[in-house]
Amino acid sequence: MLNQVVLVGRLTDKPVVIESESGKKYTTIVLAVQRAFKNAEGLYETDFFRCILWNGIAANTSEYCNTGDTIGIKGRLQTRVYENEEKEKKYITEIIAEKVTFLASKK
């Protein structure tokens, strides 16, 4: 079996490191990835992917990256389930980053 994702895109916000209740550090980023083809109107569409970065990867990305910077992510897809206030099951799919490469600063 194989569960591997490789993305190159721009950060939509400045990464901020958060410490979990268990003491692990993480950050959640959204990566904007432009599609390689144009739509019917002749425009490139963009997909937005939620990515979770843990420990050292989170700290380094938070320290060296800002909004608009281009990064590459290698990781895996993960789907988790939670219940909202109305007791409905909600599913969220995220990318768990295993490696982040800093490619270009917007500066």
pLDDT tens profile 34-62: 999 999 999 999 999 999 999 999 999 99
Please, what CATH class does the domain formed by 5-104 belong to? mainly beta
Where are the strands (E) in 1-107, listed by range? 5-11, 18-19, 25-38, 44-54, 70-83, 89-104
pLDDT band at 105 (very low <50, low <70, confident <90, very high): confident
Strands 89-104 and 44-54: parallel
Neighbours of 68 (CB within 10 A): 15
Query: Which residue is listed with tokens 């992510």?
Result: 73
Alpha helices in the chain (DSSP H): 55-64
Q: What gap in Å lies between CA 99 and CA 105, rounded to an integer?
A: 18
Residues 6+ apart with CB under 8 A from 5: 73, 74, 75, 76, 77, 95
Backbone angles phi, psi at 61, to 5 degrees: -65, -40
Q: Would you state the structure tokens that stand for residue 66, as one six-digit string?
A: 């800002």
pLDDT at 48: 97
Name the pTM for this structure.
Answer: 0.86
